[in-house]
């Protein structure tokens, strides 16, 4: 099988991280999340982290040039199949990416905004790894602690209700041109649902034809 160059698109909180996690557990593919990379730089107070922290905490997009350089550098490290989550998010980012790679698959998640707003109130994350929990959906084994490391879980700065609204507005403005760009290339597949389980039921059989299954 040729190496797959894929993207998962969807609004903030639509389940990109959750679904990506299921994809990497079932298929041989590397998950690259732009948000996880930014958050780990912010937590480690790197120069990049200092540059992007005010954008991320207020739910604004980091400038395209910063993101393009970051992701281009990241992608040079991987020869295997990969799945990009959180990038590209604007038409200029999509165009930049398409200059250097042929994207073979774009998974577009569609979840109603009212469902998302509810979910993000109960999200907890393990910042160093990016592992995500949700109270009542995928609870940690011990409340407040990561299942693998036992370290403390935190809530994301940008999950405050006012910031969530900003992020959804930003998504509503920027997403369509990106979706249309990949639709025109014939690689876009849309999966709709109110829960990640409902989406996964349709996505898994589809991916069995596209990706190499884990042994």
For CA atoms 138, 141, 142, 148, the dihedral sign is: negative
Binding residues for ligand G5P restricted to 153-212, rule: CB under 6 A? 158, 167, 195-197
Task: Note if 119 is an active site residue.
Answer: no
Q: Are 108 and 9 in contact (CB under 8 A)?
A: yes
- Please name the helix (run of DSSP H) or strand (run of DSSP E) that holds residue 182, with its range, or none: helix 161-184
Exactly one of 28, 61, 75, 110 binds ligand G5P (CB under 6 A); that residue is 61
DSSP summary character for residue 214: P
- Residue 119 and residue 12: Cα distance in Å, rounded? 10
Considering the complex, state which of residue 62 and residue 83 has its C-beta at the smaller distance from ligand G5P: 62
Say whether residue 41 binds ligand G5P (CB under 6 A). no
Question: Which span sits near ligand G5P by CB under 6 A: 8-16, 41-49, 181-189, 206-214?
Answer: 8-16
Closest CA to 45 of 127, 158, 161, 135: 127
- Residue 19 and residue 8: Cα distance in Å, rounded? 9
Q: Is residue 69 part of an annotated ligand binding site?
A: no
Question: Which span sits near ligand G5P by CB under 6 A: 7-15, 99-107, 142-150, 203-211?
Answer: 7-15
With CB cut-offs between 5 and 8 Å by kind, which of ligand G5P, Mg ion, none does residue 51 bind? none
φ and ψ at 83, to 5 degrees?
-125, 115
Exactly one of 7, 9, 32, 38 binds ligand G5P (CB under 6 A); that residue is 38
- Residue 190 and residue 160: Cα distance in Å, rounded? 28
Per DSSP, the three-state class of 210 is coil
Say whether residue 119 binds ligand G5P (CB under 6 A). yes
* Whole-number CA gyration radius for the chain: 17
Task: Note if 123 is an active site residue.
Answer: yes
Considering the complex, state which of residue 5 and residue 119 has its C-beta at the smaller distance from ligand G5P: 119
Considering the complex, state which of residue 81 and residue 90 has its C-beta at the smaller distance from ligand G5P: 90
Question: Which span sits near ligand G5P by CB under 6 A: 132-140, 142-150, 183-191, 207-215?
Answer: 132-140
Work out whether strand 82-85 and strand 5-9 pair parallel, antiparallel, or are unpaired: parallel
- Residue 76 and residue 79: Cα distance in Å, rounded? 8
Exactly one of 22, 28, 40, 55 binds ligand G5P (CB under 6 A); that residue is 55
Q: Is residue 59 part of an annotated ligand binding site?
A: no
With CB cut-offs between 5 and 8 Å by kind, which of Mg ion, ligand G5P, none does residue 34 bind? ligand G5P
Q: Which residues make up each annotated binding site for GTP? A: 13-18, 123, 132-133, 196
């Amino acid at each position: 099988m040729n190496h797959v160059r894929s993207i998962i698109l969807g609004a903030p909180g639509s389940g990109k991280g959750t679904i990506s996690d299921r994809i990497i557990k079932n298929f041989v593919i590397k998950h690259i999340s732009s948000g996880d990379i930014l958050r780990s730089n912010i937590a480690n107070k790197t120069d990049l982290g200092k540059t992007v922290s005010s954008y991320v905490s207020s739910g604004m997009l980091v400038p395209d040039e910063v993101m393009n350089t970051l992701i281009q550098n990241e992608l040079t490290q991987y020869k295997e199949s990969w799945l990009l989550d959180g990038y590209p998010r604007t038409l200029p980012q999509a165009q930049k990416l398409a200059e250097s790679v042929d994207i073979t698959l774009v998974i577009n998640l569609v979840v109603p905004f009212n469902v998302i707003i509810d979910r993000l109130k109960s999200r907890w994350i393990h910042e160093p790894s990016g592992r995500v929990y949700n109270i009542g959906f995928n609870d940690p084994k011990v409340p407040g602690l990561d299942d693998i490391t036992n370290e403390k879980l935190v809530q994301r700065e940008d999950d405050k209700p006012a910031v969530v609204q900003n992020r959804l507005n930003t998504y509503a403005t920027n997403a369509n041109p990106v979706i249309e760009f990949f639709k025109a290339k014939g690689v876009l597949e849309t999966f709709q649902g109110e829960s990640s389980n409902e989406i996964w039921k349709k996505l898994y059989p589809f991916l069995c034809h596209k990706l190499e299954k884990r042994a």
